[in-house]
Chain A
Amino acid sequence: MINAVGREIPEKIGDYVVRPYTGAYDGAPSTTPVHSLRCAGKTTSDTQKLTYSLEDAIRRAGLTDGMTISFHHSFREGDKIIGQVLLAIRALGIKDLKFAPSAVVNIKNPSIVDFVKDGTITSIEASGIRGELGDAVLEGLMDQPVILRPHGSRPRAIEAGELKIDVAFIGASAADEYGNATGQIGPNACGALGYSFIDATSAAKVVVVTDYLVDYPCVPASISQQYVDVVCKVDEIGDPEKIGKGATRMTKNPRDLMIAQRSADVMAASRRFKDGFGFQTGAGAISIACTNYLAKHMEEKGIKASFALGGMTASIVEMYHKGLVRVLECSQCFDSVAARAIVENANIVEIDNAVYSNAHTKGAMLDKLTFGILAALEVDTDFNVNILTGSSGEMMGGLGGGPDVSAGADISIVCLPIVRGRTPSVTKRVFTCCTPGETVAAVVTEAGIALNPRHRHYEELKEDLTKAGMKLVTIEYLQKMAESLTGVPQPIETTDRVVCVVEYRDGSVIDVIREIKK
């Protein structure tokens, strides 16, 4: 069948029940009470939750064949927990697990691929499967298709009963022996643990894994002891260098700076750029530069934002310290400056990923965003955005919160260069549709700014940018310009076998990724 963004998707994919995407704001929430596997517990003052053995922790959590395990991705490529836990699981001979982290970062030693090959993991659900695993999946590694969901859809799927987590392993940079845990202090501090809240409250069993035990009670505590079954102390949970040391640096790439500046100019030209606005700029190279240019506009015009949302960087923390933003709502922190800032500042707060982005709650914060800056690998002439697959059919990124932010923000701006290396980024049809075009207000490139005539604020934005003297082009102009420079690449050849299901934020299927022909 063909869904509402013109993608051909199968009516059935194995046991997976396909609900085709029908529109960005169409999906109705479940009418049944939210699901959770969490049971009541019973503890006394003698209860011992602490263990120094991951195998013991796994046994105590009752993990058996066929169950679902989860992790968060807040330690990014510095994560050493996932590998250790999977090795311990393998040592116990447990097989056939569903691996359901908030995202799979590129972990190489040990490789997740090996755990798939030996049958420890047989299915995967995440927001992205970057790196070696992603490439292997596209080449047909898994028997079951991987389900990819944007950030907001993961808590939605859990509460809808579509994803049931048996054992959540929650990495913490500090914890006490009774389970109070945080990411904000300790040698491997990563800041907010916003992606773990739903796991803590919904999983059947919760194991906190830390390398930094602190005296009871651990303060601050992002994960409360009341949800935690076992605390496991290991030697090392991460590599601080890769978790994010210092401030995320601003790009010096002149092309990216130009795109960033233009994106900030678009925001500043909008009538919505006024006291009390809210924004999310993200952590990509262009995004951070855009944050700095936005700050300049705010200083020049004396405008203050009410909040910044999502993943935090040092640039946004600096805006906070300058008094340009009243509150920072952090679902994750991309550098150590942002991670430390939560501890040190009253109005820089850690938030639950569900509060940030779940469309099927009684209020996601990103619905209050005025501006959202989105990175992309490709955008097409229908303004559909690809943030997963690269030009040669490799897995380049994760869905992250992009589809959520695009739908929630009043003005969502996709920033990308029109060509990368030898391939065009503005195309007639993206290889994988992740974010529907109807939610994208503008595409900003080095070759010009294109507004989306189908966006709900098109007329307003067009009027504002024209008034500001900004030159607008059509998306078709950008596509033709890009392809005139690079030529039209040969299409990526695939088989009919679906290897990834790309869900939209409401759980409908916006696209599928088929196995890449070798």
Chain B
Amino acid sequence: MAEKTIRLKRTGLYASGATPVNMIQAIFYNEDMLVYDLEDSVPASEKDAARLLVYRMLKEHRPEGKYICIRVNGIYSEELEQDLEAAVRANPDCIRIPKVEYAREVQAISRRIAQIEEAVGLEVGKIELICNIESYMGVLNAQEIAMADPRVVALSVAAEDLTASLKAQRTKAGLEVFYARNAVLLACRAAGVDALDIVFSDINDEEGLRADTALAKNLGFDGKTVVHPRQIDVVNSYFTPSMKEIKYALRVLKAVEDGKAAGKGAVTLDGGMIDKPMELRARTTLAQAAAAGINVERMVI
């Protein structure tokens, strides 16, 4: 299995495989994660064309400096096999699976990806997975999903289908999905993977977006899916770490380095053990700071 790398996911923007203009424009915005979509935004009659367009886009115009995903069609969809065949060959950073409910679903897809990777000569295990949690069952099984496979790097909560599954009413305040957001977040923390928050749907309500993003950041999420490019800069700004967070991350990494130099197996900081997820989070914090233009090199900790 390939080594995990730190890739920022403060903002995830979808670009429909059925809309070439949006696919082109999405290159130029400041989102960390660009998700080329083969699922909901693509009409059934255009699935094959979208698959080809996304494949060509990645092969010929893959944007630099972004975490590139392809969202395939659902696990039980007739489209999935062809989606995986095309998506793996396009060699994205990640494949995003919609409506995940059980660990076995993730494992089955991971195995299929491995077969295709092997068949086309790609490094097996390199393509990562993000699982979209969009139902009550997905929420209940979030921890097993997050731990289902080494490829899984994040879980993302999606509120629209989730509220339907809960028989809840979708509101701007979002209390109806508050538990689900936290449940998925806890699962991600337990598994040491990133937690990606729900979209804020009203693109004309910047104040609402700010409040919702502040909540997501305070809850502990690593990023948020956006519904419109106009939301990107606002969301990115909230996921820029504070000076306190940056300094703590620097201390964690210094302790890890000192521990390595001293040949210690276990490293502690302020009396607590530093485990691998903590180290990864510290590195992520510094990557977020760097993305926001903060120079941490000479920072006094």
Chain A residues close to B by CB (< 8 Å): 252, 254-255, 257-258, 419, 421, 446-447, 469, 484-485
The 7 A-B pairs of least Cβ separation, nearest first, read A254-B229, A446-B28, A254-B230, A485-B24, A255-B25, A447-B28, A485-B61
Query: In this assembly, does B251 line the interface, its C-beta being within 8 Å of a C-beta of chain A?
Result: no
**Is B61 a contact of A258 with CB atoms below 8 Å?**
no
Q: Which chain B residues in 207-240 approach chain A with CB under 8 Å?
A: 228-230
Q: Which of A254, A257, A258, A421 contacts B21 (CB 8 A)?
A: A421
Given contacts A258-B229, A485-B24, A485-B61, 17 further A-B contacts (CB under 8 A): A252-B230, A254-B25, A254-B29, A254-B228, A254-B229, A254-B230, A255-B25, A255-B28, A257-B230, A258-B29, A419-B24, A421-B21, A446-B25, A446-B28, A447-B28, A469-B293, A484-B61
Task: Name the B residues within 8 Å of A469 (CB-CB).
Answer: 293
* Total number of B residues with any Cβ neighbor in A under 8 Å: 12
Task: Name the B residues within 8 Å of A257 (CB-CB).
Answer: 230
In the bound complex, what is the Cα–Cα distance between A172 and B61 (angstroms)? Answer: 54
Task: Name the A residues within 8 Å of B24 (CB-CB).
Answer: 419, 485
Q: How far is the CB of B58 from chain A (nearest CB, A)?
A: 14
Most central of A254, A421, A484 by chain B CB within 10 Å:
A254
Residue in B closest to A445 when the chains form the complex, CB atoms: B28
In the bound complex, what is the Cα–Cα distance between A258 and B29 (angstroms)? Answer: 8
In the bound complex, what is the Cα–Cα distance between A252 and B28 (angstroms)? Answer: 16
Chain B residues close to A by CB (< 8 Å): 21, 24-25, 27-29, 60-61, 228-230, 293
Residue in A closest to B231 when the chains form the complex, CB atoms: A254
Task: Name the A residues within 8 Å of B28 (CB-CB).
Answer: 255, 258, 446-447
Task: Name the A residues within 8 Å of B228 (CB-CB).
Answer: 254
Q: How far is the CB of A211 from chain B (nearest CB, A)?
A: 38
In the bound complex, what is the Cα–Cα distance between A349 and B60 (angstroms)? Answer: 53
In the bound complex, what is the Cα–Cα distance between A485 and B53 (angstroms)? Answer: 12
Q: How far is the CB of A467 from chain B (nearest CB, A)?
A: 14
Task: Name the B residues within 8 Å of A446 (CB-CB).
Answer: 25, 28
Q: How far is the CB of A496 from chain B (nearest CB, A)?
A: 36
Q: How far is the CB of A194 from chain B (nearest CB, A)?
A: 35
In the bound complex, what is the Cα–Cα distance between A294 and B289 (angstroms)? Answer: 27
Task: Name the A residues within 8 Å of B61 (CB-CB).
Answer: 484-485
Task: Name the B residues within 8 Å of A258 (CB-CB).
Answer: 28-29, 229
- Of the A-B pairs whose beta carbons lie under 8 Å apart in the complex, a sample of 16, sorted by A's number, is A254-B25, A254-B228, A254-B229, A255-B25, A255-B28, A255-B229, A257-B230, A258-B28, A258-B229, A421-B21, A447-B27, A447-B28, A484-B60, A484-B61, A485-B24, A485-B61
Q: How far is the CB of A252 from chain B (nearest CB, A)?
A: 7
In the bound complex, what is the Cα–Cα distance between A447 and B61 (angstroms)? Answer: 13
In the bound complex, what is the Cα–Cα distance between A446 and B24 (angstroms)? Answer: 11
Task: Name the B residues within 8 Å of A255 (CB-CB).
Answer: 25, 28, 229
Task: Name the A residues within 8 Å of B229 (CB-CB).
Answer: 254-255, 258
Task: Name the A residues within 8 Å of B29 (CB-CB).
Answer: 254, 258
In the bound complex, what is the Cα–Cα distance between A255 and B25 (angstroms)? Answer: 7
In the bound complex, what is the Cα–Cα distance between A257 and B230 (angstroms)? Answer: 8
Q: How far is the CB of B2 from chain A (nearest CB, A)?
A: 30
In the bound complex, what is the Cα–Cα distance between A255 and B13 (angstroms)? Answer: 14
In the bound complex, what is the Cα–Cα distance between A242 and B25 (angstroms)? Answer: 31
In the bound complex, what is the Cα–Cα distance between A155 and B29 (angstroms)? Answer: 43
In the bound complex, what is the Cα–Cα distance between A419 and B29 (angstroms)? Answer: 15
In the bound complex, what is the Cα–Cα distance between A231 and B78 (angstroms)? Answer: 75
Task: Name the B residues within 8 Å of A254 (CB-CB).
Answer: 25, 29, 228-230
In the bound complex, what is the Cα–Cα distance between A254 and B29 (angstroms)? Answer: 9
In the bound complex, what is the Cα–Cα distance between A329 and B207 (angstroms)? Answer: 35
Task: Name the A residues within 8 Å of B293 (CB-CB).
Answer: 469
In the bound complex, what is the Cα–Cα distance between A469 and B295 (angstroms)? Answer: 13
In the bound complex, what is the Cα–Cα distance between A59 and B230 (angstroms)? Answer: 58
In the bound complex, what is the Cα–Cα distance between A184 and B131 (angstroms)? Answer: 61
In the bound complex, what is the Cα–Cα distance between A103 and B72 (angstroms)? Answer: 52
Most central of B25, B28, B61, B229 by chain A CB within 10 Å:
B28
Q: How far is the CB of B214 from chain A (nearest CB, A)?
A: 21
Most central of B21, B60, B61, B228 by chain A CB within 10 Å:
B21
Residue in A closest to B228 when the chains form the complex, CB atoms: A254
In the bound complex, what is the Cα–Cα distance between A254 and B229 (angstroms)? Answer: 6
Task: Name the A residues within 8 Å of B60 (CB-CB).
Answer: 484
In the bound complex, what is the Cα–Cα distance between A273 and B21 (angstroms)? Answer: 35
Task: Name the A residues within 8 Å of B25 (CB-CB).
Answer: 254-255, 446
Task: Name the B residues within 8 Å of A419 (CB-CB).
Answer: 24
In the bound complex, what is the Cα–Cα distance between A329 and B150 (angstroms)? Answer: 65
Most central of A258, A447, A469 by chain B CB within 10 Å:
A258
Task: Name the B residues within 8 Å of A485 (CB-CB).
Answer: 24, 61
In the bound complex, what is the Cα–Cα distance between A446 and B30 (angstroms)? Answer: 11
Most central of B25, B60, B229, B230 by chain A CB within 10 Å:
B25
